[in-house]
Structure 1
Amino acid sequence: MKINQNLTFNNSEGIFIGSQTNCKDCKIGIYGVPYDGTTSFRPGTRFGPSAIRNISNGIESFCPQLNLDLEDLKYVDLGSLDIPFGAPEKVINLVKQATILLMQKGIKPLLLGGEHSITEGAIAGIVDFHPELIILQLDAHADLRDEWLGSKHNHACVMRRCIEILPSKKIFQMGIRSGTSKEFKELKEKKRLISHQSGQVAKSLDKAMQPYLGMPIYLTLDLDWFDPSVMPGTGTPEPGGFLWQDFAAVIEVIKKHNLIAADIVELAPKLDHSEISSILAAKIARSLIMLLSLEK
């Protein structure tokens, strides 16, 4: 599907369960970014968007936690963005353009990655519409390096780049358990690091975000936030992660807030032949569609 001279979406790999294929009356727009050009350990996230879509028909449309059904919501799946091979700069710019396109139509974007470097493009596309934007990052890694492997737009640098373009400079980073000493020093000094005890309600997150009720929130979810026991299909797994019940605790906090956009990144489905990683990612996508549908 050709949108303009720069943007083309490929929907040959199917669509997410219940999605429309046009934007009419839709408030939420899904698009994939099949990119893993800066992967530094195990590649394969370029297959993430198609895996989430293909397996989504195996999940129920109803979510008992949110008491919502996808069948009652209108959302479009544009397909996956056609992107060039090679360096990330052109990809990030295309993601920015695609995000702006949806924002101009009053549609809340949900990106299916792809590696984490794509988040920079989404944030760049949103901040002109919402300069007061706040980012919530669920991740095993801080991603605050200034450069990695010679690139400033590497997945390991994505939150550094996002902070640079974020007018509010407000970011909460939850579940970080891997990074350099410099990164952890910054996390603590800037009071960005949100602790969470697995199996418990998300008290620290709730308290940190309480002053920002009504403010626009962007959620970026790197799937290595989850423990490798339930999310083996990711390029940089990190022991000591979280389970679905912990994401459910985060949902309880987010549903109080004004979520305007989100992404799910770092699914490498071919690293998990059981496909439980893809199923988990699809269920997360279902929850995010529902959270994006809530009016605040």
Structure 2
Amino acid sequence: MLAGYVKNQGFLASGDNYEGARVVLAGIPFDATTSFRPGARWAPQAIRAVSEVLEEYSPYLQRELGQVPFYDAGDLDLVPGRLEANLERMEAAAAALFQDKKIPLFLGGEHLVSYPLIRSARRYYPNLAVLHFDAHADLREEYLGERLSHATVMRLVAEEIGPGNLYQFGIRSGTWGEFAYGQEETNFFMDVITTPLEKLVPELGSRPLYVSIDIDVVDPAFAPGTGTPEPGGCTPREILQVIYLLRQARVVAFDLVEVCPAYDHGNITAILAGKIIREAILAWGR
């Protein structure tokens, strides 16, 4: 058991051998800057709870979870109300996983959690590229007077890694300024995900990739349990195709954020998140 985590129910078929695991799941139960519907802090345990409905075998990848040793560390122990202290704790926790040569799969939590995790990843992988799948650009310089927010997270990331190393897919919501910045500075793909990704994967080659999926990239008809739903999104099949397209790429870390269980009718969003996690483990856990 890793220090600094609270361990409850584990993800489907997770093992108990941290040292022997290549992939490590870590929950980040944090939603301090959520602007519309809070509750994403409860997502990691909700996703784990419904993962039992899934099979261990993926017919798409023709592998099962028993073939990939992975460990579920539990949820990072965070301090209520301490924004910057919690971000520092996330960054340090990610650093420990990278130092141990693990592929971390982080379960958010709101999208701001990506910032300290990516900061940590970049220290270990200086040539890091970030692939961001989201309904929202998240490129504001500040939101309601705050620099640190789930609405500013990708602007922070762009400034950390250089905007030319940020690739944004499925974006369909934001301010005029965000769209202008994205189209001029980042690799910005409005409202589409798989077509540009097919062309991009060979170009990225062996570059280390951090993949961040905000569940609201999926249309709310399929994923209503999220804090800021935005109509007009992709289908579950399309977002799963992202995982498969990246199978031959060098994914070094992944986060899945913004599932909000309180608004999740019939657990369909959490189940989708669980399936994304299963496919990611099988695709990237070599």
* 168 and 28 in structure 1: CA distance in 2 versus 1, 3 angstrom threshold: farther
The 8 Å contact of residues 261 and 292 in structure 1, kept in 2 or not, is answered as: no
Q: Partner of 2:214 in structure 1?
A: 222
1:57 matches 2:48: no
TM-score, normalised to structure 2, is 0.95
State whether structure 2 residue 205 is matched by structure 1 residue 213: yes
**Which AA in structure 1 matches 2:218?**
F
Question: For 1:66-106, what per-residue CA distance to the aligned partner results, in whole angstroms no more than 9, with x for missing partners?
Answer: 22211111011110001011242122111111111111111
Residue 284 (structure 2) pairs with residue 288 (structure 1): no
Aligned letter for 2:254? A
Which residue of 90, 97, 100 maps to 2:95? 100
Tell me the equivalent position of 2:6. Answer: 10
1:191 CA displacement: 5.2
Distance 1:161 1:238 in 2: 22
Give 1:112's aligned residue. Answer: 107
Identity among equivalent positions (%) equals 37
Q: Secondary structure at the match of 1:121?
A: helix
In structure 2, distance between residues paired with 1:149 and 1:11 = 35
CA contact (8 A) 2:104 2:254 kept: yes
In structure 2, runs of 5+ residues without a counterpart are none
Deviation per residue, 1:218-265 (Å, 9 max, x gap): 100000000000100000000000111211332232112111100000
Q: Deviations over 1:183-212 (max 9, x none)?
A: 1112212351125658xxx22122133211
Measure how far apart 1:291 and its partner are.
2.5
Letter aligned with residue 231 of structure 2: P
Checking the alignment, whether the CA contact within 8 Å between 1:133 and 1:168 is kept in structure 2 is no
- Asked whether the 8 Å contact 1:134–1:168 carries over to 2, the reply is no
| Residue of structure 2 in register with 1:232 after alignment | 224
What secondary structure sits across from 1:233 in the alignment?
coil
Partners of 1:191 and 1:48 in 2: CA distance: 29
Name which of 27, 35, 43 aligns with 2:30.
Answer: 35
Does the 8 Å CA contact 2:225/2:269 hold for their aligned counterparts? yes
Partner of 2:141: 146
| Partner secondary structure for residue 246 of structure 1 | helix
| Equivalent residue number for residue 161 of structure 1 | 156
Amino acid at match of 2:222: V
Contact 1:132–1:167 (CA under 8 A) maintained in structure 2: no
Mapped pair 1:251 → 2:246: no
What residue in structure 1 maps to residue 15 of structure 2? Answer: 20
SS at match of 1:275: helix
**TM-score between the two structures when normalised by the length of structure 1:** 0.92
Contact 1:259 1:291 in 2 (8 A): no
Q: What secondary structure sits across from 1:30 in the alignment?
A: strand
Determine the structure 2 residue equivalent to 1:46.
41
Identify if the C-alpha distance between structure 1 residues 87 and 153 changes in structure 2 by more than 3 Å, giving closer, same or farther. farther
Amino acid paired to 2:7: N
Match of 2:119 among 109, 118, 124: 124
How far apart, CA to CA, are the structure 2 residues paired with 1:129 and 1:168?
A: 19
How far, CA to CA, are the matches of 1:143 and 1:167 in structure 2? 15
Tell me which residue corresponds to 2:189.
Answer: 194
After superposition, the Cα gap between the structure-2 partners of 1:246 and 1:225, relative to the gap in structure 1 and judged at 3 Å, is same
Instruction: Give 1 or 2: higher helix fraction.
Output: 2
Letter of the structure 2 residue corresponding to residue 293 of structure 1: G
Q: Is the 8 A contact 1:195 1:204 kept in 2?
A: no
Question: Does structure 2 retain, via aligned residues, the 8 Å contact 1:22–1:78?
Answer: no
CA contact (8 A) 1:112 1:264 kept: yes
d(CA) in 2 for partners of 1:38 and 1:197? 27
Secondary structure, counterpart of 2:25 in structure 1: strand
How far does the alpha carbon of each residue in 1:43-72 deviate from its partner, in whole angstroms, 9 at most, with x for none? 010110000111111101111112221111
Separation (CA, whole Å) in 2 of partners of 1:128 and 1:197:
30
User: Are the aligned partners of 2:172 and 2:190 in contact in 1 as well (CA < 8 Å)?
Assistant: no
Deviation at 1:2, TM superposition (A): 6.2
Q: Which amino acid aligns with 1:260?
A: V
Distance 1:191 1:147, change over 3 A: closer
